[in-house]
Structure 1
């Protein structure tokens, strides 16, 4: 996952909303959104076996973004960051500080869809030995995240967050159907406009890549947005999880949709 925004209690009909794009090399083998052993709905990285975004039948949720910083890289023998999503959904907990040091740089948004208690955990501060917090609690409202630290004002995160805020504040949003809202949210994820040069972050990649990566949806023959996802939790405690997959030309190649009834709230 490379870009996501979540909304907690920001809409009267949907207490939880997530919109997210997964960017990856097109030749990396991937399974689309599906049910894992009756316990989780997620896509799967077939190269390393992990996931980037998932919803558990136990009401747990997690999404992962990699951190674009070569100082946080690890050897190929290190565990895949995708297992952090699987583990946090299975256990209802994020990684410990000791465990987090074994992974390349990551941000992990995780929490429970019944309690709506969510956090963002990152190992950046631990590995770089700076003052970035290990875990940040997510308050009510809209939060966006990309491949920097939580709260980093990258152009694409600001654009997605502003678009989601505008959509949720539109008066007729409360009257439209789930599919109409999903369509509007997928439109936000389809923005291919590039950031101005003076707004680009400096992450150590060449200028051409920095420019290309500044789009909400990346279209490139080698690397790009492989899938977009919308997750909606309604007041009947049902999760509506839809994923659209794309080919290297950026055209839709498939769509998967799941409705996940969650356990009753305690």
Structure 2
């Protein structure tokens, strides 16, 4: 069960975003890189899901500062109105915003998605999205636009959203922390992992500010939030059915690798197949990436192997529009555990048009 946390509490940063992607660890997934959205030409930074032909993602940013973060919604099997697996990929909801025309505003996007029914036919999801840019106001004396110490708010849309005016907005005020997992957005949060994550994130930021921590120290404090493991011992038992574990997964920010007898066999097989092969697939060529996604689109690896926190991501945006985008891989492509920090990939850039 994924978790996304957003904060405006650090005085040096306009926005901080944390994310744990909880997934079957053998699900084919690329490492983050810059790629070009074919229809819009937007430059996008993200990892990509190679399980589905859409090559969607669970989170990403554009050169212009668009942000999108996805969490699944845990649907019930008997809910025919909201299918567990839709015709279209959830990851396509992320790229729908990151690849939207540059002149399309956030409000226009929300209206298009809801009134056009584009959130239907997709498995359960919630999407945090918005344009990362500072709010601006006109000075009364000379009429110049000045940058305020706030950013434009983000919105949260889902396959349950109905009215445009009812869509939650977050991140638009200083000193706030917001959390979202595999349920509808709630304020205040009710899921234990979301409440815990929000508290721990605020605590980490308070400590970093009090200690005068730099970016490296702050990043490790933030990763420690994502590493927080409070999964009850009963949920770690190999013989427990996966569906029985779902309620327990609500209790822990970090999900350790969970297997059963069959999934353990999947892991052993994947590790044996991966011997003498590269730990990760770095696919630079667009046509090769399409081929890789097509190869897995039959769903053969959808629920193979252990389930747990597969990737962790931290995004820092300072008041000059400088972005640090860091993804930490916890498993390689063959299901082997990666030592903490050894699977880190970091990108730094400045948002176009920030100033």
TM-score normalised per structure 2: 0.65
User: Which structure 1 residue ranges, 5 or more long, are not aligned?
Assistant: 198-204
Query: Whose Rg is larger?
Result: 2
User: Which structure 2 residue ranges, 5 or more long, are not aligned?
Assistant: 37-41, 101-105, 135-150, 235-241, 260-305
Within the alignment, does 1:96 sit opposite 2:96 as a pair?
no
* SS in structure 2 of the partner of residue 256 of structure 1: strand
User: In structure 2, what is the equivalent of residue 111 of structure 1?
Assistant: 130
Task: Judge conservation of contact 2:10–2:209 (CA < 8 Å) in 1.
Answer: no
Write the deviation string for residues 203-229 of structure 1: whole angstroms up to 9, x where unpaired.
xx7333432453211112410100111
Task: Judge conservation of contact 2:73–2:183 (CA < 8 Å) in 1.
Answer: yes
Show the 5 A alignment for 1:167-206: 167-170=204-207, 172-173=209-210, 175-194=212-231, 206=243
Moved >4 Å (runs of 4+): 131-134, 248-251
User: In structure 2, what is the equivalent of residue 235 of structure 1?
Assistant: 319
* SS in structure 1 of the partner of residue 20 of structure 2: strand
Task: Judge conservation of contact 2:161–2:167 (CA < 8 Å) in 1.
Answer: no
How many residue pairs match? The answer is 253
Write the deviation string for residues 108-127 of structure 1: whole angstroms up to 9, x where unpaired.
0001111432111112254x
In structure 2, the CA distance between the partners of 1:96 and 1:125, relative to structure 1 (3 Å rule), is: closer
Counterpart among 89, 93, 113 of residue 84 in structure 1: 93
Q: Shift of the alpha carbon at 1:258?
A: 0.3
Within the alignment, does 1:166 sit opposite 2:203 as a pair?
yes
Name the one with the larger strand percent.
Answer: 1
Show the 5 A alignment for 1:1-266: 2-8=2-8, 10-37=9-36, 39-48=43-52, 49-70=55-76, 71=79, 72-73=82-83, 75=85, 78-91=87-100, 92=106, 93-94=109-110, 96-97=113-114, 98-115=117-134, 116-117=151-152, 118-126=154-162, 135-138=167-170, 139-140=172-173, 141-151=176-186, 152-170=189-207, 172-173=209-210, 175-194=212-231, 206-212=243-249, 214-220=251-257, 221=259, 222-247=306-331, 251-252=338-339, 254-265=343-354
User: In structure 2, what is the equivalent of residue 201 of structure 1?
Assistant: none
